Chain A
């Protein structure tokens, strides 16, 4: 177990674990996170599992006839949301690398994710 003192504590923690376009959860999670940013919350987002694809560069949704929300994701830092965590084991499973992403995210172990969740005042998962 990692020392909990080194892991940040957030009032509101978002977990994105669904792919960006596979269901409405991708867009709806982003919209909720941006709303929280606009309300100046002490918050973070964990991208895990399929949710990691939200951060992938060069999303092309034209052939899927879906509105691309990559621009919305890239607005996160402008809304003051820069605590972005990426599940390290999920990256490995998908052969993704932080250099595939268009936003800076901090890779974290599953154990650290557990601590982040436990320490958060509220969790919203999408």
Chain B
């Protein structure tokens, strides 16, 4: 079956465990032979792909785990651009677009994912058998 996952939860927010559930669900789907049409990170969920998050030793490094899963299975991973910019998750283009002499910005979107618009979410629901929201 073809799935799309919509991830609203951030790793260390009040509902942080939901972000881990999303990852484990994705991992489980792929191991069971299902396919993922798209991962769509929205709202607080954009923090899952922040390359600047440093996970303490001994804790599960969720951003690194997402990146590894995305790379291993060549997943289509999209981050809502408006939600990401508001929360300081920028790719190379956006970092250059918004950086000024007064304001240094980092390019901190993990490799393997891309910033794009909400059309990608609507497209994903139209092309998947199931859409699962983790909020």
Contact = CB atoms under 8 A, between A and B. Distances in A.
Interface in B15-58: 42-44
Interface in B59-97: 80, 82-83
Interface in A27-44: 28, 31-32, 35-36, 38-39, 41
Contact of B118 (A24, A25, A32, A122): A32
A124 interface: yes
B131 A122 contact: yes
Contacts, number: 49
Interface in A2-60: 11-12, 24-25, 28, 31-32, 35-36, 38-39, 41
Contacts of B80: 28
Contacts of B43: 24-25, 28
Nearest to A11: B126
A36 B122 contact: yes
Given A24-B44, A123-B131, A125-B133, A12 B122 contact: yes
A25 B133 CA distance: 13
B131 A125 contact: no
Interface residues of B toward A: which range?
A: 20 to 34
B126 to A, nearest CB: 7
Interface residues of A toward B: which range?
A: 10 to 19
Interface in B108-135: 117-119, 121-123, 125-126, 128, 130-131, 133, 135
Interface string A105-126: 0000000000000000011111
Given A25-B135, A32-B121, 6 more contacts: A12-B125, A28-B83, A35-B118, A39-B126, A122-B131, A126-B135
28 contacts: A11-B126, A24-B43, A24-B44, A24-B83, A25-B8, A28-B42, A28-B80, A31-B82, A31-B118, A32-B42, A32-B121, A32-B122, A35-B119, A38-B119, A39-B119, A39-B122, A39-B126, A41-B126, A122-B125, A122-B128, A122-B130, A123-B131, A123-B133, A124-B6, A124-B125, A124-B131, A124-B133, A126-B135
